[in-house]
Structure 1
Amino acid sequence: MTVSTQGALATQAPEAVLALAPDANRLKGRVALITGAGRGAGRAHARLLAARGAAVAVVDIDEDVARATSAEIAEAGGRAIALAADITDRALAERCVAQVAEQLGGLDILVHNAGLIYSMTGLEQTDDANFDRLLAINVHAPLYLTRAALPHLRQSRAPRVIFINSQWGQVPDGHSYGYMVSKAAQLGLMKTLAKEFVGEGILVNAITPGAILTRMVPDQYIEPEKANIPLGRLVHPEEIAAAVAFLASDEAAFIAGQAIPVNGGALLVGI
């Protein structure tokens, strides 16, 4: 279904949206750990949380991009450290959390952003190794990190765990088994964590975007994706970051166990 959209909201630049509410001190004094934060959407999350006052740990498997994003934040007047780690390794994930808490003085906000797609294949073409790798990055790694972070989150005034999931975790498209299944499992993990820890004040939620305008979406898929989105475009990383910043803030203190769609209305037409 192709939807033609009129009006400013369909084409408004994300920079203009974010400029409406800079809120420079909203997250002052808090520490955020963001995985996959060296580039793409993770970089946008790191930049915005830092701009709103949080000290940010930029965690990425690629040390060079982690350092580049950390340096960019520092140059803008923020506080950030860069850590390189394969968070699918439990020992490395646990060490990563310990380093963040030691170097930045605690941990208040944990953002599970790291992710992969690999291939868009049917069942018979699904590679076992790729399937396992996607489960590792989308399910095992968040479990390891959250478990390691618990002692620090329990000491936080406003503890938050935020998953960057996908609309395809809610409505699968009939292929890309590793991605679809791992994202659905990730939502189950989010809800289970939310239910277990909400009584302790640890708020766990997810954001379920559609296709984000990053390198994870190959050029040949951009136009077909746009045709399925009522607002007529892909979501920008900065718009996902705005949702992350909201969930990390005091304004979201009564939200727990929710999967918040940021997809331009794609679910309205059944994607």
Structure 2
Amino acid sequence: MATDSNRAVGVDIGGTGIKGGIVDLDEGVLLSDRIKVPTPAGAEPADVLTAVKEVLTRLDVADSDIPLGVAFPAIVKNGQTLSAANVSKKWIGFQAESFFEDGLGRGIRFANDADVAGIAEVRYGAAKGQDGLVMLTTLGTGIGTALIYNGVLIPNAELGHVQRAGKDGDAESYAAYSAKERDDLSWEKWTKRLQWYYTYLEFLFSPDLFVVGGGVSKNADDFMPLLNLKTRIVPAVHRNNAGIIGAASLTRG
């Protein structure tokens, strides 16, 4: 049974939507409805803060001392955002964690969105109990990645941006789900691009498990059986809730 000591709020900030929910930290499940509001046009800091406040108000936790974790689509180092994926360039070099803490009037835990999705899958999902190196990849507009070794996150792995030798563009421009849609690829043709990507990651890291997240993971049967890898590869369990659950679980360290 969820109590005040094993509950936290997770907020997942994305380029198109900002989602939040109250999470049972023992079970890794939502205790509330998932609240979602549109990401403000331009996604500038002040407007994003206002949208996060709206999510917390609708969850009825705006004035609560329940722990709060926030996921953000950027490289995050020491509370500072060093990149900006589908949000305003004003976030680059921005002291985002302290900005949210000051604006919300509370302490938070703050991290990259793919990293927290990886945490969710290791603690509560497809990678629970897996020793060694777990690599989570989210296939969507881009490719987000998380590296977790023996349960410990190695933060800010931007492996969607590995380069293709002798080719224009990086991995995500070639193999993200958006590339399938952009180039009108069949599952078979898109999987050939994924084969290159995952084979390259295998060569670089020799992982023990790949976990595939993002909305396309619900179609895992359409492409995963077509991959020929040495490493076991499985779909993520938490899909669109992974950011919320992982962000909330940050409050446990």
Class of the TM-score when normalised by the shorter of the 2 chains: 0.3 to 0.5
Bigger strand fraction: 2
